[in-house]
Amino acid sequence: YDEVFGILDDLWTIQISFVYEEKECTNDFFINGVHNMKIKKSEKEYVMNLISPVEQALKLYKLNEVYSGTSHEIVGNIFTECTGPASKLIINTPAISKGKYIVPNISARQAIANVVNAAIDADNTGFYFFQRLFEDGVTRLMSLRFMATNFFLRASDGNKIKIYNYIPKAGNPHINNQGSCNTFIQDEYKMNYIEKLAQGNWGNKIHHVLLDKTKVIKNEPIEQTINEITQYKISDKLYDINEVADGPAGKITRYQQKSLFSNIYDPNDVASINMKKRLLNVVLKAKKIVPIGGIGCGLSINVEMGEGDKSKTIGDGNYVIADINHIFSWEGNGYNYQQDMTLIREMA
């Protein structure tokens, strides 16, 4: 890599491949810069910042287009247009939010983020857009409800894999079973709870001001709250009336086109956004896990931290995997592979 320092306007590619449990995992990345370089007499050490080809394309591609349909259809259209037909997007959950989106000359990454942040599924839960290491560059669009019920299963017997605390005892040495871990850190538990409550993370009584109708609608709260806020709702008459021959014998149906974001201040949509915020109330870090092959973000997993002679925890139970740090360290005769995970849920 030293030979290409100083070359302008080029992103060099790097491929990372490893075999775990007789399964090869290969991913391509772009080297998006180098930092923390330590120059020694006989060698150099530095940190490479890597981004996936999908991230590179979505950041560089500017959009000035109009899209219509459900949220997942719009995300799919933008993704294919900007990354090419060879890139793969898996939509695990269809969205019920729909409308028209005029993208105002912003990056495809920001455009997709806007759509995802406003999307809801049939259970009124929000969406996430992400990639997993073990899926060779596949991108996923998935709702929180799907994540909460999508447990990672052991391939050999179909049972749920768990992360558990294994403490070796005399005559019973530690066995490197997948998911065993003896370092758990409760990184956050209901931190800044009062501030979150004031921000409306548990809901608000939402009053809508309809500017095109000179009318105020006071919605009944669907979450526990005493806060009241006023929002200016996007007009339902912002776009044209469409005529479609979809009735019996070709009968014309007329309907009013609406903005994709026309309902973002409705109680159900706000509740879905709040649910995503509240999911970060409990953040648990599991360190130095014996690697679980094929696991990725957006899956649920059970955690058993165990108990000691003087204490026990209410932190056991189901969590959603927020991120995974795959750690490969050279130990003289080969690489040691471990996983660190960030696990999240609303409450203990």
According to the model, what pLDDT value does residue 34 have?
82
Question: Is 309's pLDDT higher than 70?
Answer: no
Question: Is 41's pLDDT higher than 90?
Answer: no
* Reported confidence tier of residue 71, pLDDT bands at 50, 70, 90: very high
| DSSP one-letter code for 169 | B
Phi, psi of 86 (to 5 degrees): -75, -25
Question: Is 270's pLDDT higher than 50?
Answer: yes
Question: Is 307's pLDDT higher than 50?
Answer: yes
Question: Where is mean pLDDT largest: 30-44, 111-125, 232-246, 307-321?
Answer: 111-125
Question: Is 209's pLDDT higher than 50?
Answer: no
Reported as a single tens digit per residue, the pLDDT across 174-204 is 455 888 888 898 888 777 777 776 666 665 5
Phi, psi of 137 (to 5 degrees): 90, 5
pTM comes to 0.77
* Reported confidence tier of residue 216, pLDDT bands at 50, 70, 90: very low
CB 183 within 8 A of CB 287: yes
Q: Determine what percent of the chain is predicted with pLDDT higher than 90.
A: 30
Question: Where is mean pLDDT largest: 1-5, 10-14, 70-74, 332-336?
Answer: 70-74
42-51, 126-135, 220-229: the lowest-pLDDT one: 220-229
Q: In whole angstroms, how far apart are CA 182 and each of 98, 255, 288, 306?
A: 46, 59, 8, 10
According to the model, what pLDDT value does residue 237 have?
59
Cα 342 from Cα 348, distance rounded (Å): 15
Name the residue with higher pLDDT: 41 or 135: 135
According to the model, what pLDDT value does residue 275 have?
73
* Reported confidence tier of residue 312, pLDDT bands at 50, 70, 90: low
| DSSP one-letter code for 151 | B
Would you list the DSSP string of 210-274?
A: ETTTTEEEEPPPSSS---EEEEEPPPTTSSPEEEE--SGGG--EEEE--BTTTTTTSHHHHHHHH
* Reported confidence tier of residue 346, pLDDT bands at 50, 70, 90: confident
Question: Is 313's pLDDT higher than 90?
Answer: no
Reported as a single tens digit per residue, the pLDDT across 113-150 is 999 998 989 888 889 999 999 998 899 999 988 998 99
Reported as a single tens digit per residue, the pLDDT across 152-170 is 887 777 788 899 887 655 5
Of 77, 83, 129, 122, nearest in space to 103 by CA: 77
